[in-house]
Amino acid sequence: MEHLLEEHGVKPTPNRLLVARALSGAGRPLSLMELEARLETIDKSNIFRALMAFREAHLVHVLEDSGDGVRYELCHSHHEDHDDDVHVHFYCVKCHKTYCLEDIPVPPVTVPEGYDAESVSYLLKGTCPDCR
């Protein structure tokens, strides 16, 4: 995990390593509240600071899923100018969890002249297999 942080120019402090490991081990994007519940030894402000450092270094994807705010997942892309880790997400309207559908790429979208897209998000909403 230290190597991934260093590749993105993030100093691997103990708190940052714990946050990165929690994101990596979750298998799905997590909200700040979910991270706080998993990381009982770190307070919310330290988790938030780690996430902001990750965000500035393009080490996390930030997802808005209509749930309880935003969710974070590690970005495994190694290109500064192109994110090759973009995929579809699924938000369950019953359990309010967001899942990565990594085998489904986000379809390319052409924006009209004059627009400059900086990121893309593709979110499906419905019921997950556990809640069905």
pLDDT at 65: 67
Give me the tens of pLDDT residue by residue for the chain, a chain 132 residues long: 899 899 889 999 999 999 999 999 998 899 999 999 999 999 999 999 999 999 998 888 888 866 567 899 888 665 555 455 677 889 899 988 888 888 887 788 889 999 988 777 788 899 999 999
Which residues span the domain enclosing 39? 2-126
Rounded Cα gap, residues 10 and 49, in angstroms? 12
Q: Is 28 exposed, middle or buried (0-12, 13-18, 19+ CB in 10 A)?
A: middle
| Tally of structural domains, the chain | 1
Rounded Cα gap, residues 90 and 123, in angstroms? 6
Residue 131 lies in a domain: no
Q: 48: domain CATH number?
A: 1.10.10.10
pLDDT at 86: 74
Residue 9 lies in a domain: yes
Residue 48 lies in a domain: yes
Give residues with Cβ within 8 angstroms of 93, minimum separation 6: 125, 126, 127
Residue 67 lies in a domain: yes
